[in-house]
């Protein structure tokens, strides 16, 4: 599923994919156990005990912390969040980044 971390596009319009993913409830469902830290669109923390997550940055930049490994991803780069490992991320520099989140169930 493709989504856009753009706070403005989510307001009052939950019909598009990008705005639906912007709503905190939809984002929690996509990413597993999710909680917001330091405001609604600054830092997101995730941990999924049932599946690995692969995050692909389609455009923009994303700061990601997986366990103790911190990195900044640009367009076309990916990061794997292993099952059960806590991770956090936030959009870098500008208020918009488009990402693709793939879920790989633990049974595979």
pTM of the entire structure? 0.60
Closest CA to 97 of 88, 87, 105, 89: 89
Q: Per residue in 20-64, pLDDT tens?
A: 344 444 444 555 554 444 444 456 677 777 888 888 888 888 888
Q: How far apart are CA 25 and CA 83, in angstroms?
A: 21
CATH number at residue 71: 2.60.120.10
Say how many domains are in the chain: 1
Cα end-to-end distance, the chain, whole Å: 19
| pLDDT the model gives residue 77 | 92
Give the CA angle between residues 103, 14, 43 to the nearest 5°: 55
Domain residue limits at 44: 2-105
Give the pairing of strands 43-47 and 87-91. antiparallel
Confidence of residue 8 (pLDDT cuts 50, 70, 90): very low
pLDDT digit string, tens, across residues 55-101: 888 888 888 888 888 899 988 999 998 888 888 877 776 667 788 88
Higher-confidence residue: 106 or 16?
106
Q: How much is the pLDDT for 32? A: 52
């Amino acid at each position: 599923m493709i989504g856009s971390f753009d706070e403005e596009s989510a307001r009052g319009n939950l019909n598009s994919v990008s705005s639906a993913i912007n709503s905190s409830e939809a984002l929690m469902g996509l990413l597993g156990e999710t909680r917001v830290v330091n405001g609604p669109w600054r830092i997101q923390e995730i941990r999924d005990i049932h599946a690995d997550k692969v995050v692909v940055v389609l455009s923009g930049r994303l700061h990601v912390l997986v366990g103790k490994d911190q990195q900044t991803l640009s367009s076309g780069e990916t990061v794997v969040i292993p099952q059960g490992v806590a991770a956090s991320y936030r959009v870098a520099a500008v208020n918009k980044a488009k990402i693709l989140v793939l879920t790989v169930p633990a049974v595979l």
